[in-house]
Structure 1
Amino acid sequence: MKRDPLAFRYANALFNLAKERDQLKLVGEELQAVKDVFEKTNLLDEVFRHPSITNEEKKELLNKNFGTQVSGAVMNLLMLLVDRKRISKILAVADEYKRLSYQSQGVAEATIYTAKALTGDEKIAIKETFEKKTNQDEILLEEVVDPDVIGGFKIRIGDTVYDASVASKLKRIHNRMISGNASR
């Protein structure tokens, strides 16, 4: 995943502040809640990008909706983003903060694609295997059932994809046959 350098700078500053105050989890939860509200209500497109709405009106709206719900650090970030006309970066800032927080705790998010749903034992075995392979303390596994995988699995951890699917093996065999080099 390509990182947004500007969002990373804001997230990194907030991360360092939260870490200093021992509020990593709290700030992460608050940012996720703010992100959820922006995504579900379409506030960015309808209000915050509207040219006739002033920064003061935007700040008042944020204060009204989040003032008692989030910490001062998150509220200050929101106000700063409005002042600098970068409130549209809030979703990317939340994602970058989450990434930094997980990285500091040895946690990685992973998406696994399988042809059929995994059993509990299979999930545990895959998690343990990839925790060791990637030197992570914990892997948060999201499962996606994709019949195109045919069998096996494909797992994405950060920017790395491990492909042990039948579909990819068939594709490699097909490509070798087409190139006339089936001996590999």
Structure 2
Amino acid sequence: MKNSRNARRYAEALYDVAKDHAHEDQIERELLTVRQVFSAPSDLVDFLQDPKQWMNRARIIKSTFMTFSSELVKLLLIMVEDHAEQDVPGMVDHYTYLINEKRGVGVGKVYSVTYLTPHQLEDIEAHFAKGFGYERLALQNEIDESVIGGFKVVINNRVYDVSLKAKLEDVKRKFVPLYKR
């Protein structure tokens, strides 16, 4: 994402308009398709970025996304006119973040040495939901062998680290003088 500030502004504008028209959920579903189209290398993105085709951009967006909500199509037209096609995936991510915040759902990742069982993941989600200020958490499990043991939870740039690696680093900080680190 080239300019995350612009992506956030576009997402917040779309969210406000969607909320006013009570289309938040519909637009969220549509944005999943939009993310796929704009994330992967595609002929559409190449076409939109071709300076020779600037007159046809609006027509192509309207015809490609004709079944989508008018709010989303208008935003895509604005983004294409602003040459912000590269910000579309970031806009989708931030819109998803905004709608999850409204629902009280935190989305994040759990890093562990091995994959957690569904029951372990549910236990972690239930345990950390209130601590992170959410009604519910939706966590993805990712493998990170550097944690050595335990796990690390990351939600919206907030980290709760109960990994063996973190504990070893803490012991190192306590026993090794500053000038020898």
Output the CA distance in 2 between the equivalents of 1:48 and 1:114: 41
Counterpart residue number, 1:30: 30
Percent of aligned positions that are identical:
27
Structure 1 stretches of 4+ with a deviation exceeding 6 A read: none
Cα deviation code 1:124-153 (max 9, x no counterpart): 111011112122111111000222211110
Residues in 2 aligned to 1:66 and 1:105: alpha-carbon distance in whole angstroms: 27
User: How far apart are the structure 2 equivalents of 1:41 and 1:4?
Assistant: 20
Match of 1:39 in 2: 39
Match 1:131 to one of 129, 132, 140: 129
For 1:8, the equivalent position in structure 2 comes to 8
Contact 2:31–2:92 under 8 Å retained in 1 = yes
Q: Does 1:167 find its partner at 2:165? A: yes
State the match for 2:73 in structure 1.
Answer: 75
Mapping 1:92-107, distance limit 5 Å: 92-107=90-105
**Contact 2:45/2:85, CA 8 A, preserved across alignment:** no
Q: Gaps (5+ residues) in structure 1?
A: none
Measure the CA separation in 2 of the matches of 1:11 and 1:163: 31
| 1:155 aligned counterpart, secondary structure | strand
Q: What's the CA shift string for 1:82-126, capped at 9, x where partnerless?
A: 223323322221111111111111111110001111122211111
Equivalent pair of 1:153/1:163 in contact (CA under 8 Å): yes
CA contact (8 A) 1:47 1:53 kept: yes
Answer whether contact 1:44 1:88 (CA < 8 A) is retained: no
TM-score if structure 2 supplies the norm length? 0.87
* Number of residue pairs aligned between Structure 1 and Structure 2: 176
Give the distance between the partners of 1:29 and 1:5, measured in 2 at CA.
Answer: 23
Q: Counterpart of 1:146? A: 144
- Taking only aligned residues, the RMSD between alpha carbons, in angstroms, comes to 2.0
The whole-number CA distance in structure 2 between the counterparts of 1:176 and 1:134 is: 28
